[in-house]
Amino acid sequence: MKAKKVMAMAMVMTMGLSMTTLGVSAAESKGTTNVSYSNQNEIPDPTDPTNPDWMVTIPSSIVFTDDNKEIDASVELIKKAGELPDSSTPVSVSVESQNVYNLQLADSSDPVSYTLSYGSNLMSDTLKKVSDLSKDHTKEAGTAKLTGKATAAGVHTDVLTYTISYGN
């Protein structure tokens, strides 16, 4: 019987402490964190690549599927620290396809064609210039479109190499 009384007393004391604790409010502060996702790679200012004033963003990947045959491939001049180049000395952007705008299996078989266009220009083995970017023209809209169809199973790939030049 004594054990029951001790247990009952312990429960009453615990409830009393809990009720006291519930009535106390603690001081708090809040901060915010921005969360974003950028599906782009950056090419830094070639005149100061370790501490660039500006960069050109390019697509980090272009992944076609049977349901997604058109991909945004825009390029953009973005400010990092200093000023963006003006139109008197623009940043020239060009692109080259390793497989001349064909996706291929590892053994170079089963080519699947695609197009890459910027503005009204369709990129090719001879037309490589994407655009001249400056603070007056910071973005060039681009689109990659799958135009062929695979006949063999497997991952078909190509590599695009973007080059920027400034002051040339």
Cβ neighbours of 52 (radius 10 Å): 19
CA–CA separation, 150 vs 35, rounded Å? Answer: 37
- pLDDT tens digit at each of 168 positions of the chain: 555 554 555 555 555 555 545 556 788 877 777 665 666 789 999 988 999 999 999 999 999 988 889 999 999 999 988 889 999 999 999 999 999 999 999 887 899 999 999 999 999 999 999 999 999 999 999 999 999 999 999 999 999 999 999 986
Task: Specify the pLDDT at position 39.
Answer: 66
| Residues 158, 104 contacting (CB under 8 angstroms) | yes
**DSSP code, position 52:** -
The pair of three-digit structure tokens given for residue 128, joined into one six-digit string: 């490589």
Helix (H, G, I), strand (E, B) or coil at 36: coil
Element counts in the chain: helices (H) and strands (E): 1, 12
Residue spans per domain, the chain: 40-166
CATH annotation of 40-166: 2.60.40
Long-range contacts from 5-14, C-beta under 8 angstroms, 24+ separation = none
- Does the global pTM surpass 0.95? no
| Residues 92, 168 contacting (CB under 8 angstroms) | yes
